[in-house]
Structure 1
Amino acid sequence: MLKLIPFGFVFMILPESIPLLVMYVPGMVPGTCLKDSQVQKTREKLDKVRQKMTANVLKSAEKVDGIAPADFLSLTKFQRIAKHYAYDFDLIRIDRPHLASYCRFMGINNIGTQGMLRKRLEKYMNYINEDDKLLLKENVDELNIKELSHAVEERGMRSIDQDEENMRRGLKYWLSLTHPANPENTIPVGLLVFSRMFLLNANYKGKQ
Structure 2
Amino acid sequence: MSTSANTSQLERLTFFSDAVFAIAITLLIIEVHVPHVSGVDDALYWQALAELRSSLFGFALSFLVIGMLWMAHHRVFGMLNDYSPKLMWPNLLLLMTVAFMPFATALMSSNPLARVPELFYSGTLLVAGLLQNRLFAIALRAPYVRVDVPPEEITAARWRSWGLPTAATLSLVAAWFAPGWNDFLLIGIPFLVRLYAAAGRRHALREQVAAGA
TM-score by length of 1: 0.30
Q: Which has the higher helix share?
A: 2
Q: Relative contact order (C-alpha < 8 Å, sep 6+): which is higher?
A: 1
TM-score by length of 2: 0.30
**Bigger radius of gyration:** 2
